[in-house]
Amino acid sequence: MLRVGLTGGIGSGKSTVARRLVERGAVLVDADALAREVVAAGTDGLAEVVAAFGEGVLGPDGELDRPALAGVVFGDDGARARLNGIIHPRVRLRTEELIAAAPPEAVVVQDIPLLVEGGMAAFFALVLVVHADVEERVRRLVELRGMPEADAMARIAVQATDEQRRAAADVWLDNSGDRDALRAAVDVLWDARLVPFEENLRLRRPVRGGPARLADPDPEWAAEGRRLVARVAAAAGERGRGVSHTGSTAVPGLAAKDVIDLQLGVGSLADADAVRDALQDAGFPHRPDIDSDRPKPAGSAPWPKRYHGSADPGRVVHLHVREVGSPGWRFALLFRDWLRADPVARDEYLAEKRALAERHRGDPDAGGYAEDKEPWFDAALPRAEGWASATGWTPAP
């Protein structure tokens, strides 16, 4: 199954997106709804809340008096931490139960208001963020929910900023306009990305990079690289020894194929094999056809690696899993850092890439393009090593 994180600030319209995803077939796990469920009347969760905060948070109907509880914990970090310690473990347990009950081909959408604040983005194959301008969110909270404006502003102020949410967002859904436009955007997302992503994930089928077509430098490549690095690191767990954004999209100002190259360091190929299923479950299917033990450059020690692609049709990824300290691991980091530091080398490499892209325009998956770059790398390696020696460079993921 595909697990998607959905978040957005209060008043952004996240519930509208969630409803439309359910209408299209998603399984929704709503953290707010579960937080209410686990402290409903008669639950041990409610009993613990009352024991912690007093009978004053209990309404006459035996249900939790949420405004009264909010008055106790709002602005009090210690009280809020105690409340979270009661509710969050119960919500996590109920979430796991609902996900386990979902069919294997499900697109499971977890609606989590504080996904960004809780540092949870890396644990989802995709993160959707619903956005609306602060002024519009305040208007909705005041007019539609009857919230005093000062309260609305205070709630917004303690949540993540737009910049923090944008950094976590694989998909940014702008809800500053009308509801029909938002629903239409969700439909496109469902049909073009979520459904094929789930199928690719279930079938362990990576998307292909396509022809050798260079794109202009994209400032978003760096942010995408950071999100993917965090996702791979979370999947690899303790067997991972560092994840890096490598390749041309990691070099600012360099035109490149629109592909994010990543390198996961491991202690041994046994560790690479041990994390294979976790990487696949996280959205990075194994491609044994590109696993390699061949020497590079000719006559040198073998440069073994394991290779994973991406199941996400919206983002092509090449994930190279190599032993930390191996020549191949060092090579990927050295060339990235050298090209970042040396504009002459960067321009030479770009000229080579453009010539090869033209030569391989008819190549459907750019295999020949990638192979024909190898002589340039082999010839440039002494210069890169000279730069490393002169600057005292050492590999750091």
CA–CA separation, 142 and 147 (whole Å): 5
β-strand partners of 129 = 7, 172
**Is 176 annotated as contributing to ligand binding?**
no
Task: List Cβ neighbours of 109 (8 Å cut-off, separation of 6 or more).
Answer: 4, 6, 18, 21, 22, 26, 27, 28, 29, 128
Q: What is the pairing mode between strands 317-323 and 306-308?
A: antiparallel
**Is 314 annotated as contributing to ligand binding?**
no
CA–CA separation, 13 and 7 (whole Å): 10
**Is 253 annotated as contributing to ligand binding?**
no
Grouping H, G, I as helix, E, B as strand and the rest as coil, residue 298 is: coil
CA–CA separation, 202 and 139 (whole Å): 42
Measured CA distances, 113 to 5, 14, 121 (Å): 10, 9, 12
- 117 within 8 A of 11, measured Cβ to Cβ: no
Instruction: Kindly report whether the peptide bond that precedes residue 302 is cis, defined as omega within 30 degrees of 0.
Output: no
Amino acid residing at 27: V
Can you read off the two tokens belonging to residue 136? 């519009």
Give kind and range of the element (H or E) at residue 319: strand 317-323
**Is 11 annotated as contributing to ligand binding?**
yes
β-strand partners of 317 = 260
Can you read off the two tokens belonging to residue 305? 């690696």
Q: What is the pairing mode between strands 27-30 and 240-246?
A: unpaired
CA–CA separation, 256 and 123 (whole Å): 28
Residue with tokens 């490499």: 349
CA–CA separation, 129 and 165 (whole Å): 7
Residue with tokens 């020894």: 241
Can you read off the two tokens belonging to residue 299? 């006559």
CA–CA separation, 25 and 31 (whole Å): 19
**Is 161 annotated as contributing to ligand binding?**
no
**Is 62 annotated as contributing to ligand binding?**
no
Residue list for the binding site: 11-16
Residue list for the binding site for ATP: 11-16
